[in-house]
A = this chain, B = another copy of it.
Amino acid sequence: MKNFFFLFFLFFLFSVLRAEEMELPKNLSPQTRQCIGCHKLYTPGIVHDWLKSSHSKTTLEEALKKNELERRVTVKVLPPEFSMIVVGCYECHGQNKEKHTDNFTHFGNKINVVVSPNDCATCHPEEVKQFSGSKKYHAIKNLIQNPLYHALVSTATGVTTYEKGQLVQNNPTELTLHEACLGCHGTEVTVKGFKKVKSLSSGLEITIPDLANWPNQGVGRKNPDGSFGACASCHPRHSFSIEVARKPYTCAQCHLEPDVPAYNVYKESKHGNIFESVGEHVWNFDNVPWQVGRDFTSPTCATCHNSLIVRSDGKVIAQRTHDFGGRLWVRLFGLIYSHPQPKSGDTTIIKNADGLPLPTTFAGKLAEEYLISKDEAEARKELMKNVCSSCHNTDWINGHFKKLDNTIKETNEMTKTATTILLEAWEQKVADNKNPFDEPIERKWVQQWLFYGNSIRYASAMSGAPDYTSFKYGWWELTKNLREMKDYIKKKESKD
Asked if A471 lies at the interface with its beta carbon under 8 angstroms from chain B, I say yes
Nearest B residue to A263 by beta-carbon distance?
A: B268
Cβ-neighbour of A175 out of B179, B201, B403, B451 (below 8 A): B403
Asked if A259 lies at the interface with its beta carbon under 8 angstroms from chain B, I say yes
CB distance from A45 to the nearest CB of B (A): 3
Interface contact B256-A276, CB-CB below 8 Å: no
Residues from chain B with Cβ under 8 Å of A200 in the complex: 382, 385-386, 388-389, 394, 397
Cβ-neighbour of A467 out of B198, B257, B278 (below 8 A): B257
Cβ-neighbour of A173 out of B113, B281, B406 (below 8 A): B406
| Known contacts A395-B208, A486-B167, A491-B495; A43/B273 CB under 8 A | no
Residues from chain B with Cβ under 8 Å of A237 in the complex: 270, 274, 297, 391
A residues contacting the other copy or chain, number (CB 8 A) = 145
0/1 string, A425-459, CB within 8 A of B gives 1: 00000000000001110010000000100001001
CB distance from A333 to the nearest CB of B (A): 13
Residues from chain B with Cβ under 8 Å of A268 in the complex: 252-253, 256
0/1 string, A456-496, CB within 8 A of B gives 1: 10011000111101111011100110111011000100110
Chain A facing B: main interface SS: helix
Query: Which one, A80-88, A362-370, A413-421, is touching chain B?
Result: A413-421
Interface contact B214-A399, CB-CB below 8 Å: yes
Nearest B residue to A484 by beta-carbon distance?
A: B440
0/1 string, A21-40, CB within 8 A of B gives 1: 01000000000000000001
Residues from chain B with Cβ under 8 Å of A482 in the complex: 160, 162, 167
0/1 string, A185-212, CB within 8 A of B gives 1: 0000000000001111100000010010
Asked if A79 lies at the interface with its beta carbon under 8 angstroms from chain B, I say no
Asked if A101 lies at the interface with its beta carbon under 8 angstroms from chain B, I say no
Interface contact B293-A156, CB-CB below 8 Å: no
Cβ-neighbour of A181 out of B42, B267, B466 (below 8 A): B466
User: What separation, in Å, do the CA atoms of A414 and B169 have in the docked complex?
Assistant: 11
CB distance from A317 to the nearest CB of B (A): 9
Interface contact B278-A239, CB-CB below 8 Å: yes
User: What separation, in Å, do the CA atoms of A161 and B254 have in the docked complex?
Assistant: 33
Query: Which one, A2-10, A12-20, A64-72, A338-346, is touching chain B?
Result: A12-20
CB interface residues, A 374-400, toward B, < 8 Å: 382, 385-386, 388-400
Residues from chain B with Cβ under 8 Å of A349 in the complex: none
Residues from chain B with Cβ under 8 Å of A293 in the complex: 40, 44-45, 47-49
Cβ-neighbour of A236 out of B161, B274, B314, B484 (below 8 A): B274
User: What separation, in Å, do the CA atoms of A402 and B211 have in the docked complex?
Assistant: 13
User: What separation, in Å, do the CA atoms of A227 and B205 have in the docked complex?
Assistant: 49
Residues from chain B with Cβ under 8 Å of A157 in the complex: 470, 475, 479
User: What separation, in Å, do the CA atoms of A440 and B477 have in the docked complex?
Assistant: 11
Residues from chain B with Cβ under 8 Å of A353 in the complex: none
Cβ-neighbour of A393 out of B43, B382, B494 (below 8 A): B43
User: What separation, in Å, do the CA atoms of A469 and B167 have in the docked complex?
Assistant: 21
Asked if A120 lies at the interface with its beta carbon under 8 angstroms from chain B, I say no
CB distance from A287 to the nearest CB of B (A): 12
Asked if A78 lies at the interface with its beta carbon under 8 angstroms from chain B, I say no
User: What separation, in Å, do the CA atoms of A162 and B414 have in the docked complex?
Assistant: 10
CB distance from A482 to the nearest CB of B (A): 5
User: What separation, in Å, do the CA atoms of A166 and B167 have in the docked complex?
Assistant: 32
Nearest B residue to A40 by beta-carbon distance?
A: B312
CB distance from A384 to the nearest CB of B (A): 10
Interface contact A217-B167, CB-CB below 8 Å: no
Interface contact A472-B277, CB-CB below 8 Å: no
Residues from chain B with Cβ under 8 Å of A173 in the complex: 406, 410
20 cross-chain CB contacts under 8 A: A15-B313, A42-B389, A44-B390, A44-B391, A45-B293, A162-B424, A167-B483, A175-B402, A180-B470, A183-B470, A199-B394, A215-B392, A241-B278, A253-B466, A256-B268, A258-B471, A259-B467, A438-B483, A443-B480, A443-B483
